[in-house]
Homo-oligomer: A and B are copies of this chain.
Amino acid sequence: MAERKRKIVNDPVYGFITIDHPLIFALISHPYYQRLRRIHQMALAHLVYPGAMHTRFHHSMGAYHLMSCALQELKSKGVDITAEEEVAAKMAILLHDVGHGPYSHALENGIIEGVSHEKISHWLMEELNKEMKGALTLTIEIFNGRYHKTFLHQLVSSQLDVDRMDYLNRDSFYTGVSEGVIGYDRIIKMLTVHRGELMVEEKGIYSIEKFIVARRLMYWQVYLHKTVLSAENMLVKILRRAKELALKGVSLYASPALEYFLYHKISDANFEQEPACLQQFCLLDDYDILSAIKVWAQHSDKVLALLCKWLTNRELFKCVLSNESFDMVSINTLREKVQKQYGITGKELDYFVFTGTASLSTYNDQDEKINILFKDGTVKDISSIDNALVSHTLAIPVKKFYICHPKI
């Protein structure tokens, strides 16, 4: 760790990403971080946007790059940031997603219900900090918002953090949805710190508007696309069915790590008390899930087999979005048709016909605000500015209802 290394990684989004600190090398080389190479950033969105195959590894490297740029810019504006804080903030962003499991949303809803990826991140960071003999202590303080220089936490986690900036850039790049592109380089040049808080200079207002609108577009057009919702709900149903069968003692093909989570009831307590739990979690990734699903497509349980076959071959549920909730009459009509066509009955119909909701605040004025610093020293939340595009109306979450069912 003594010698001065410098490594340059090609990134199609930013050109080159530079790594030049031994602690950061150590962190990136750790199996817990390398595991993120095997977790797709956008889960099953590639079934609609075939380019969206990038990983959480690549996203967190990108966010790290933006963090480096932002810190550089702030320092050049005279903001006091020590070398130690710089490395700590960079490690905090590298680790921000470390607790995500494969198909995170599906996993949390299907196999480890009630255990959030935030908590797992927390446990993993503590574990890593032990291994690295305290080198992550400041990182963890910044991550948890307990360090006195609030702007460092805001760069890691707020409505204008480098996490969002990178995922909008990257998801837009890899899906080819060019409208999601944001002017991240201009936003970064407009960042400043005022009374310890992260702010945007007045000249940056329109870039921030653009950023908020790009995010809104990416949600409705990509993340909440009806076919993406369909695929991800099918995955939730598959994992729930598998767990249901497993807990009943039915035999299922699974890697040891997946087996662990299928055949045990899992809660926070397991992670906190049984070291094996976190160990097994770190061995679990997209490859365990998808390879099992392909095998389950031949399972004797009809519900599991059908869902797995359809997902594998991309014969996805039809999904309808609506501004209003669906009435019981039309849901029941669908259930009857599915019952007739596929011979599924009773409670098992819930695996085939189901409703859900998707919602989004374009700008959340309750969360960490995006503050604009005017030349005269005034500070205003972006949603409070005269003539702003982003008014308080946009803070009200928009909620949409959807229903899914197989081809009938």
Interface residues of chain A, those whose CB is within 8 Å of chain B, are: 6, 8-13, 15-16, 29, 31, 34, 37-38, 40, 46-47, 49-51, 53-55, 57-58, 61, 76, 173-179, 181-183, 185-186, 189, 206-207, 209-210, 213-214, 216-217, 220-221, 253, 255-257, 283, 285-288, 290-291, 294-295, 298, 312-315, 323, 362, 386-387, 389, 391, 393-394, 398
Contact = CB atoms under 8 A, between A and B. Distances in A.
A283 B287 contact: no
Contacts of A221: 206
A323 B210 contact: no
A279 to B, nearest CB: 11
Contacts of A12: 51, 173-176
B283 A294 contact: yes
A362 B387 CA distance: 10
Contact of A206 (B34, B209, B216): B216
A183 B313 CA distance: 31
25 contacts: A8-B189, A10-B51, A12-B51, A12-B173, A12-B175, A13-B176, A16-B186, A29-B313, A29-B314, A31-B312, A31-B313, A34-B314, A37-B50, A37-B314, A46-B55, A50-B57, A53-B54, A179-B210, A206-B217, A209-B216, A210-B213, A216-B389, A255-B294, A255-B295, A287-B287
Contacts of A323: 386
A177 B15 CA distance: 8
Given A51-B54, A214-B210, A37 B29 contact: no
A6 B201 CA distance: 15
Contacts of A290: 38, 287
Given A217-B209, A220-B206, A398 B387 contact: yes
Nearest to A28: B314
Contacts of A50: 9, 11, 37, 55, 57-58, 61
A185 B387 contact: no
Nearest to A184: B178
Given A312-B31, A362-B389, A185 B16 contact: yes
A49 B386 CA distance: 27
A174 B12 CA distance: 6
A275 to B, nearest CB: 16
A8 to B, nearest CB: 6
Contacts of A214: 210
B255 A176 contact: no
A221 B386 CA distance: 16
A93 to B, nearest CB: 16
Nearest to A185: B15
A386 B179 CA distance: 21
A176 to B, nearest CB: 4
A189 B186 CA distance: 23
Nearest to A55: B53
A15 B176 contact: yes
Contacts of A312: 31, 34
Nearest to A256: B295
Given A50-B57, A314-B34, A178 B181 contact: yes
Closest 4 A/B residue pairs (Cβ): A12-B176, A10-B176, A53-B53, A179-B183
Contacts of A189: 8, 16
A386 to B, nearest CB: 6
Contact of A179 (B61, B173, B206, B313): B206
Given A9-B50, A51-B58, A210-B214, 14 more contacts: A11-B176, A16-B176, A34-B314, A38-B290, A46-B55, A51-B54, A179-B186, A206-B221, A210-B213, A255-B291, A256-B298, A257-B294, A287-B294, A291-B291
